[in-house]
Amino acid sequence: MAADAADKPGEVRRPDRRARRRQETIEEIVDIAIDVMTEHGVNGLTLAEVARRLGVQTPSLYKYFPSIAALYDALFRRAASENLEVLREGMAHGEPGLDALTSGLEASGRWVLQNQALAQLLFWRPVPNFEPSAEAFAPSEEIAALQQQAITDAVTAGQLGPDALKGAGFMVAILIKGVLTQAMANEPHLEWGKGRYTPIFPRLMKLLPAAYPPPPPRTQRSRRKKRAK
């Protein structure tokens, strides 16, 4: 019998129709879950409500998601992956260092306000006892690494002092999450850049050099040494 075209050397087997349909159903379930969380809160998600909206019985979901924790894990993975791409694209529009970091975090902030249910699951802890799997958490580690690289670039460029390598990442997280927490609590329907909170974020980022002052230029250091003599 002739070999199937997908089995020929050098060719990649394409997913069969059943596998494609399964993946489409998984994506549909995740989309419905986002709608439920948006309407009822992140902790208000239930498999029963997702099944009802999908038009199936709850046990029918188990072959896709064996538990509510598994569904939350898929939601976390989507949120982290989307935010990673947004952050990376935003940072690409700025010069390496504080400019790229600020541009990336503003892009991330826009995504958060446009996807508040997913963002709460990603950056806050609305579901008691939920811990993402290592696979789902991997994009979050890349997010942290991108931000840390921008801080390293800022130190190399003389925008921040060396102490920033240890503590600036925590300060940046406090600044962006503080702004977003206030915006989501008080102005949840406004987009990034409007209202009382998000417009001040670029100014808050200018606090970083004050908290982690860069060393003075060499000319200033040499003058200080001469005065000390």
For the chain, the domains span 15-66, 77-215
pLDDT digits (tens, 9 = 90+) for 163-196: 999 999 999 999 999 999 999 999 999 999 999 9
**May I ask the CATH class of domain 15-66?**
mainly alpha
**Rg, Å, the chain Cα set:** 23
Q: What angle do CA 195, 197, 200 make, to 5 degrees?
A: 110
pTM score, whole prediction = 0.86
CB-based contact 108:93 (threshold 8 Å): no
Q: Exposed/middle/buried for 197, CB within 10 Å: 0-12, 13-18, 19+? A: buried
Q: Write the CB contacts of 131 (distance below 8 Å, at least 6 apart in sequence).
A: none
CATH of domain 77-215: 1.10.357
As a whole-number percent, the residues of the chain with pLDDT over 90 amount to 86
pLDDT digits (tens, 9 = 90+) for 72-113: 999 999 999 999 999 999 999 999 999 999 999 999 999 999
